[in-house]
A and B are shown apart, each in its own frame.
Chain A
């Protein structure tokens, strides 16, 4: 197992390098970060060129990539455009932990911007994911065990409706119902936007109450999808001979479900979860935008539309790294779930 893990980690290095090259190349088509910098103020060509030189945007793409990777403190830059490189570069490159500085918030390190938002994303996404999984498991298992009952039919119909609804519709509808109209009707109401009320401060109860609507919005679609998947996996597993044998041995339904059925049904679900978990870091763009949640999803979208390569690359590389690690963890969990799987 140790050799397997080491081998996978070594394989991840060239993989992440290739991913970074592909993403960097694709980002060049996202627009010119200097195009709208001056707003409606007249910006002379020499000013744009000066900014491009200072920000390193005048270099060919492959040079920009090399500077992003290993830094430019080993070369000198011609800042004053006299043809003589005189100013030492200050970047160390991502291999030395320097994610670069934002082109939008000039001077602010990209990693600082990302780390400022990352905890907010985890606060939103982890409880959401736990809620989704627990609810989907409960609904899916119950639905499978009571196949074709009226509850199963109702759950099925609800799942199809929930899965079909666009998330922005659910988000806005729930906001208008529980925040705007409930308040108008004199009922207990929820807040509309934000992670907390700035007038009250970032307290635990404030964050919890502000989590309700975003988590509800994300959950409707996800629970609908996951519960159907759990149901189908459970139905497949419970029709196996060993389940029949377990019942025949006199085990209770609960023991059969938990010890035998669920563990085997969980294997493909672990695959899906392993793919989904790293993307928790990316946040939820639509939900965060509608509810004004200061997370990574909104950060990514805001900086992508402004062609802020350092921040966008930082976010994407973080997610790529998380995908690689999570895939490794997923494979290890497989081995625990299914004793037939061995790694060497």
Chain B
């Protein structure tokens, strides 16, 4: 009898718990009322102000940052999130144009291009009320360049020295002209000297500073409050913010690693903003009344051609590369991406001022492709559909990428299209960390195992600089982390070195016209599609704009419809 009573009691308790947890979320009394009934209001104590619902938004974030100190992380998911709680001398608007943010005007550059001067606003304060001055810039510079701190990269802070004539002036003295400074410096990296100097003094490094993982003192429109590992981060409005106070009370970044789950979270309204969803989900978002906002970010998905000595004879044949460019129907690929993207041609298509206007896209022309191949002696001698050279060597090209679904889908498409002109495309997919592994670790891209490598990349957007094709970046045993997996071309190398030291913007643009034309005519790179940012936004969110460089530049203007 007692056993039965106990069992019944346990059963009732369990059912009660489950039922109490189930059901729709509790809706505050101030939300929708039944038709015809008076607007319900929350009861307030007499004389006290009406309590209002907090304005909180949730942003689904696919990757969790590894640090909240910009100098210790290269992740996009971190460098974007940092705009919420940190600040930069300048930001970039929805047209990717720079505008002054912490500075009174955009920095001035001396005629020789070696001195860049910034004048800070005199009302800058950290969230704890401490004034933010040029000393914080000097401290940041010292910490980044100090070998005791294991920051990700010192570049480009090792290209200049800093002097501070007064509390509101920062002068950067470059040893040689460095034109990409606006795109590469000070973006979310400012560290609070009054917080971190004591840490450095006592430990000799800021590697283990709590602030790196919990930056409770910041200078952005929001303050860091919570980081629950694997779950979410929360930022609350910075009431001490020196700029326009944010309209939102809080911003939550919820970590949702799976693309399909992110889509579900946005469709269900559990997340107000999602980014980079799978293209095939875009119709579902539109049907659900969500806004699909795209923003050029400079990223382009493209094929990088390996012309080093270990590459196949086929890929080192210019006619073969031209034939590949003309045998791919790149327009059909944009249809697959719900027409959210467009075909690109060069690595710099997002910066049209730097692209030679005389460049015409490679046409989709199978007949012309076949003729080029025959000109070079690639003929299908045995009738198996694959061309061979005079010695009977097959025209086999290896192509590899990371194992993202859309890339693997494109591989299958490309394989079919190239087979139509007699090119055998053998495709490979790798985990990202293995694909980009170093030369000494045998990374396929670094060691030249592949003739063609595909990924999405960007120059120093919105600056056009890139070091990918510099000869001193070729990976080797002596330089295992070199980034030039492609070709050492003396002409191209000289042009890239010239542009980075050119002060006159018009002359620099002209150099890039030469670069883009040269690379296009030699098919060193083939654009597939522009890989801009795609944001999915819940209609309750208003006032938002996105930038391709600093996406959350106007987050203080974001608001929610009550």
Q: Is B264 within 8 A of A104, CB to CB? A: no
Q: Is B260 within 8 A of A172, CB to CB? A: yes
Q: In chain B, residues 429-448, which have Cβ atoms closer than 8 Å to a Cβ of chain A? A: 431-434, 436-438, 440-441, 443
The yes or no answer to B44 lying at the interface (CB within 8 A) is no
Q: Is B150 within 8 A of A45, CB to CB? A: no
Q: Is A194 within 8 A of B254, CB to CB? A: yes
Q: Is B437 within 8 A of A193, CB to CB? A: no
Q: Is B458 within 8 A of A40, CB to CB? A: yes
**Complex Cα spacing A88 to B431, Å:** 37
Contact with B along A70-93 (1 / 0, CB 8 A): 000000000110000000000000
Number of A-B contacts (CB under 8 A): 194
* Contacts A106-B72, A180-B264, A291-B261 given; does A199 touch B252 at CB 8 Å: yes
Q: Which residues of B contact A104 (CB under 8 A)?
A: 66
Among B18-26, B109-117, B310-318, B356-364, the stretch in contact with A: B18-26
Q: Is A45 within 8 A of B478, CB to CB? A: yes
Q: Is B433 within 8 A of A47, CB to CB? A: no
Interface of B is mostly: loop
* Contacts A108-B213, A175-B264, A192-B264 given; does A39 touch B232 at CB 8 Å: no
Q: Is B432 within 8 A of A305, CB to CB? A: yes
Q: Which residues of A contact B4 (CB under 8 A)?
A: none
* Contacts A50-B147, A105-B67, A292-B255 given; does A43 touch B481 at CB 8 Å: yes
Q: In chain B, residues 443-481, which have Cβ atoms closer than 8 Å to a Cβ of chain A? A: 443, 457-458, 467, 473, 478-481
Q: Is B252 within 8 A of A41, CB to CB? A: no
Q: Is A31 within 8 A of B23, CB to CB? A: no
Q: In chain B, residues 53-70, which have Cβ atoms closer than 8 Å to a Cβ of chain A? A: 56, 58, 60, 64, 66-67
| CB-defined A-B contacts under 8 Å, sample of 6 | A31-B433, A32-B437, A39-B75, A42-B155, A105-B67, A193-B264
Closest A residue, CB atoms, query B250: A199
Q: Which residues of B contact A51 (CB under 8 A)?
A: 150, 152
The yes or no answer to A176 lying at the interface (CB within 8 A) is yes
* Contacts A35-B441, A305-B431, A306-B433 given; does A292 touch B256 at CB 8 Å: yes
B residues sitting closer than 8 Å to A (CB atoms) are 17-18, 20-25, 56, 58, 60, 64, 66-67, 72, 74-76, 147-148, 150, 152-156, 184, 207-209, 212-213, 226, 228-232, 234, 252, 254-258, 260-262, 264-265, 267-270, 431-434, 436-438, 440-441, 443, 457-458, 467, 473, 478-483
Q: Is B436 within 8 A of A35, CB to CB? A: yes
Q: Is A43 within 8 A of B155, CB to CB? A: yes
Q: In chain A, residues 186-227, which have Cβ atoms closer than 8 Å to a Cβ of chain B? A: 188-189, 191-200, 202, 204-206, 208-209
Q: In chain A, residues 169-190, which have Cβ atoms closer than 8 Å to a Cβ of chain B? A: 172, 175-176, 179-180, 183, 188-189
Q: Is B152 within 8 A of A43, CB to CB? A: yes
Among A113-121, A143-151, A324-332, the stretch in contact with B: A113-121
Closest B residue, CB atoms, query A48: B481
Q: Which residues of A contact B269 (CB under 8 A)?
A: 183
Interface size class of A (residues with CB under 8 A): 35 or more
Q: Is A31 within 8 A of B261, CB to CB? A: no
**Residue of A106, A172, A204 contacting most chain B CB atoms (<10 Å):** A106
**Complex Cα spacing A123 to B505, Å:** 59
Selected contact of B20 from candidates A32, A105, A179, A205, CB within 8 Å: A205
* Contacts A193-B265, A302-B64 given; does A199 touch B74 at CB 8 Å: no
Q: Is A37 within 8 A of B480, CB to CB? A: no
**Complex Cα spacing A153 to B262, Å:** 38
Q: Is B268 within 8 A of A180, CB to CB? A: yes
Question: Nearest-CB distance from A330 to chain B (Å)?
Answer: 28
* Contacts A45-B481, A107-B209, A305-B433 given; does A188 touch B22 at CB 8 Å: yes
**Complex Cα spacing A43 to B207, Å:** 19
* Contacts A79-B147, A307-B433 given; does A41 touch B153 at CB 8 Å: yes
Question: Nearest-CB distance from A234 to chain B (Å)?
Answer: 22
Question: Nearest-CB distance from B316 to chain A (Å)?
Answer: 26
Q: Is B154 within 8 A of A47, CB to CB? A: yes
Among A14-22, A259-267, A293-301, the stretch in contact with B: A293-301
